[in-house]
Amino acid sequence: MLLRMSTLLLKTLREEPADAEVPSHRLLVRAGFIRRAAPGGYTLLPLGKLVLDRVTAIVQEEMVAAGGQEVSFPALLPREPYDVTGRWTEYGDLLFTVKDRRGVDHLLAPTHEEMFTLLVQDMTGSYRDFPLLLFQIQTKFRDEARTRGGLLRGREFLMKDAYSYDLSEAGLIETYARMRATYQRIFTRLGLEHAIVSAVSGAMGGSASEEFLATAEVGEDTFVGCTVCDYAANTEAVTTPAPPARAVTAPALAVHDTPGTPSIASLVALANERALGGRTDWAASDTLKNVVVTVHHPGREPEVLAIGLPGDREVDLKRVEAVLSPATVTMFDDFDSRPDLVKGYIGPQNLKIRYLADPRVVPGTAWLTGANESGRHATDVVAGRDFTPDGTIEAAEVRPGDPCPACGDGALTMRRGIEIGHIFQLGRRYTDVFKVDVLGTDGKAVRPTMGCYGIGLSRAVAAIAEQHHDERGLVWPATVAPADVHIVAAGKDGQIEAALTLGAALSRAGIRVLVDDRPNVSAGVKFTDAELLGIPRSVVVGRRLDEGYAELRDRRTLERTEVPLADVAGVITRELG
RNA sequence: CGGGUCGUGGCGCAGCUUGGUCAGCGCGCUCGCUUUGGGAGCGAGAUGUCGCGGGUUCGAAUCCCGCCGACCCGACCA
């Protein structure tokens, strides 16, 4: 490959695009890799397309090596299969739907579980056809409420989605493990530093679920790690270690007048002021905060639910929803209709609604909490004596410094990441609804169990840019760079010709070459552009050409070395290994 | 979907409060000459439905209403 900048469709921008905020978006636009074309949609320019193709090739290669077979479905699909699985409605506003000229409903697919499963149903019949691992690389559509970050979150994006079909749980577990290892290889080859975090499986159902997060400050996902062990998890999936139950030593429950204290802060202040229970060292963590939420179970009446947690913690509704999935949860606000729920003064004693408590609320713990009367609170409200929760719930926000649930020794740290991959054991949700049965070795029907494995390819390009840049521009990993070497003809006279001659020689040796052969462009501009474009090595054919020397530059370290022109091909070939 | 900021040549911006030589600046682009190792110099040029639609007015980039779009925060997010 030999690209000449004199004819390449490329325009680098000297100034920052005003509508780009995150580094990857800014640099990809400024360096001429992408250009916005539609709300949440980007045109890949020649250089951007080269990078995406290299990313895609790596993914294809590893998927095939893992036993995957590539297929390709239409992106425009009929409604019916999605009605069968319920996703036409369950997917909600995120689903891009279209009507054809006859008014018939179609959708622009966000994922393809239905189509893959129907294909498997159509083309298999015997245990001999399994296990099966199919994948495709397809444009996916989601009517995102808010697109952001250029390629990071668009309404249209390129995704590799794979689905495995096994006839046994053991087979699924084995396939899942193989895909997990494959993903680690893929992301390592892409140069992406990543964490594998346990995730909740969400509305898709299924048991094991892990997300691959490329660490980046601009990432939308917060995940926790441990200072001691290798635990990593999405905040939704973090479990709280429960302290051991205690013997009841607290005195009997006592009710106090606490006027004007509907908030934890005001309650703690008043409790100390009045020395409730003889104490003046009340802290928010001594109080039990009781929050009322409305749980919207699909197809059922909403449930009003109370959640108890230490008063120094906020409720994290995402964590609550993760537990109660597929139900959605909102804060309850219709206190007028429930005189039994006294806003600001709710206690767990004698509640008429279901009450779930934070795991820290173990039997024997004594709390300062509401007395279920306006302007009154109670001290020494003891779990297991004065109230018994209907269960525990992971509702409290996770904080840095919280104890690690895995090793118990370390503290949790919080970092941000870009979700670039997600794998999970889907189970039989889809094979059940489509009644996919095949004959087993004993002649009896067996229902395959599924795994699902996705990688956002266009997003991965952005994630790579996010992790590999400096103040001068992009710094592509060699594995995905649009070219292996960037030859800069720095000056006048024969330098452009010499650069092109060198480029042709390298190209013949199988090296991807970009030559800056633009006439009448000053060396300074060419150097700046080379640094912005981020091709890992460049060769400057310039002032020492007459002496037979070129200059090699390393984009990452910015190191320069003089090399005899005749040796350039050899040096680069050696570096490429 | 809520809150905020913003839409003016390809890009970055000024002008808007106070309607009337305000359609302007820098970069980029074209042509000529010079220059050529760190975003060159001089000269001459081209490029705008001022996001879209309606309204007010003798007159609207400027005021009013509606819509669309972008970005940020939040909600949402296989």
Nucleotide with C1' nearest the A18 CA: B12
- What does each C-alpha distance from A33 to A52, A62, A159, A278, A476 come to in angstroms? 10, 25, 19, 68, 12
Q: From the Cβ of A422, is strand B under 7 Å away?
A: yes
Quickly give A18 CA vs B61 C1' distance in Å: 20
pLDDT bracket for residue A203 (50, 70, 90): very low
pLDDT digits (tens, 9 = 90+) for A257-277: 999 888 888 899 999 999 988
C-alpha separations of A189 from A138, A176, A177, A183 in Å = 21, 20, 18, 10
Strand B–CB A450 distance below 7 A = no
φ, ψ dihedrals at A486, nearest 5°: -115, 110
Selected residue with higher pLDDT from A326 and A146: A146
Q: Nearest nucleotide to A531 by CA–C1' distance?
A: B38
**Over the stretch A390-401, which tens digit does the pLDDT of each residue have?**
999 988 888 888
Dig out the tokens for A181 from the structure: 């290892």
Distance, CA of A39 to C1' of B64, in Å: 29
Sequential DSSP letters for A475-523: ---TTT-S-SEEEEE-SSTTHHHHHHHHHHHHHHTT--EEEE--TT--H
Task: Report pLDDT for A207.
Answer: 67
Of residues A7, A50, A44, the one with CA closest to residue A28: A44
Q: SS3 string of A304-356?
A: EEEEEEECCCCECHHHHHHHHCCCEEEECCCHHHCCCCCCCCCCCCCCCCEEE
Residue A303 has pLDDT above 90, yes or no: no
Helix (H, G, I), strand (E, B) or coil at A228: coil
User: What pLDDT score was predicted for residue A243?
Assistant: 87
Least Cα distance to A543 among A551, A553, A534 occurs for A551
Highest mean pLDDT among A197-211, A223-237, A280-294 belongs to A280-294
Distance, CA of A54 to CA of A304 (rounded, Å)? 52
Is strand B within 7 Å of residue A146 (CB)? yes
Token pair for A16:
């920052």
Q: What is the pLDDT of residues A304-323, one digit of tens each?
A: 889 999 998 888 888 888 88
Flag whether pLDDT at A173 surpasses 70.
yes
Q: What percent of chain A has pLDDT over 90?
A: 68
Of all nucleotides, the one whose C1′ comes closest to residue A146's CA is B76
CA nearest A398: which of A316, A323, A318, A320?
A316
A145 is near strand B: CB distance < 7 Å:
yes
Q: Is the pLDDT of residue A559 over 80?
A: yes
Radius of gyration of chain A from Cα atoms?
A: 30
Q: Which residues, listed in sequence order, are joined to residue A315 by a DSSP beta bridge? A: A396
Strand B close to A454 by CB, under 7 A: yes
Identify the residue whose tokens are 């501009």.
A525
CA of residue A17 to C1' of nucleotide B23, angstroms:
23
Output the pLDDT for position A205. 47
Q: Is the CB of A111 under 7 A from strand B?
A: yes
Helix (H, G, I), strand (E, B) or coil at A212: strand
- Among A361, A332, A368, smallest CA distance to A347 is for A368
Is the CB of A452 within 7 Å of strand B?
Answer: yes
- Edge-to-edge strand list for the sheet holding A288-296: A328-331, A288-296, A303-310, A354-357, A391-392
**Nucleic strand B under 7 Å from the C-beta of A149:** yes
Q: How does residue A204 score in pLDDT terms, banded at 50, 70 and 90?
A: very low
Could you check: is the Cβ of residue A405 within 7 Å of any atom of nucleic acid strand B?
A: no
pLDDT of res. A201 = 53
- A79 sits within 7 Å of strand B by its CB: no
How far apart, in whole angstroms, are the C-alpha atoms of residue A217 and residue A23? 10
Strand B–CB A478 distance below 7 A: no
Q: pLDDT value at position A316?
A: 87
Distance A222 CA to B67 C1' (A): 37
Any strand B atom closer than 7 Å to A297 CB: no
In chain A, residues 197 through 256 whose Cβ sits under 7 angstroms from any atom of nucleic acid strand B: 202-204, 220
Provide the 3-class DSSP secondary structure of residue A411. strand
Q: What positions of strand B are covered by protein, i.e. any atom < 7 Å from a CB? A: 1-2, 11-13, 26-28, 34-40, 69-78
Give the per-residue pLDDT at A24: 94
> CA nearest A42: which of A149, A145, A137?
A149
Q: Say which residue the tokens 């060292």 belong to.
A: A281
Find which nucleotide's C1' atom is closest to A154's CA. Answer: B77
Closest CA to A63 of A521, A524, A454: A454
A372 to A330, A339, A355, A377: CA distances (angstroms): 22, 10, 14, 8
> How many Cα neighbours within 13 Å face the side chain of A56?
18
With cut-offs at 50, 70 and 90, classify the pLDDT of residue A368: very high
In which band, very low, low, confident or very high, does the pLDDT at A564 lie, cut at 50, 70 and 90? very high
**pLDDT > 70 in chain A, percent:** 98
* Interatomic CA–C1' length for residue A144 and nucleotide B67, angstroms: 20
DSSP annotation of A17 reads -
Report whether pLDDT(A575) > 70.
yes
Interatomic separation, CA of residue A142 and C1' of nucleotide B76, rounded (Å):
12
pLDDT over 70 at A206, yes or no: no
Give the side-chain half-sphere CA count within 13 A for A204. 21
Closest nt to A153 (CA→C1')?
B77
What mean pLDDT do residues A280-288 have? 92
| All domains of chain A in start order, with CATH | 23-189+423-465 (3.30.930.10), 254-392 (3.90.960.10), 483-576 (3.40.50.800)
Task: Answer yes or no: is A19 CB < 7 A from strand B.
Answer: yes
- Sheet-wide strand order for A376-382: A254-257, A376-382, A366-373
What mean pLDDT comes out for the span A184-208?
Answer: 80
Angle between helices A46-65 and A457-467 (to 10 degrees): 110
A52 CA from B12 C1′ (Å): 29
Within 7 Å: CB of A184 and strand B? no
User: Which nucleotide's C1' sits nearest to the alpha carbon of A222?
Assistant: B77
pLDDT band of A92, cuts 50, 70, 90: confident
Q: Within 7 Å: CB of A421 and strand B?
A: yes
Q: Which nucleotide is nearest to A203 (CA to C1')?
A: B78
Structure tokens at A311: 């008063």
For A537, other C-beta atoms within 10 Å of its C-beta total 21
How confident is residue A358, by pLDDT bands cut at 50, 70 and 90?
A: very high
A470 touches strand B (CB under 7 A): no
Rounded-to-integer distance, Cα A503 and Cα A484, Å? 11
**Helices A565-576 and A495-508, interaxial angle, to 10°?**
40
Distance A146 CA to B64 C1' (A): 30
ipTM: 0.93
Mean per-residue pLDDT of chain A: 91
Condensed to tens digits (0 to 9), the pLDDT of residues A220-251 reads 888 988 899 988 888 888 888 888 888 888 88
- A286: Cα within 13 Å, side-chain hemisphere: 18
Mean pLDDT across the stretch A103-123? 95
Of A81-85, A277-281, A501-505, give the lowest mean pLDDT range: A277-281
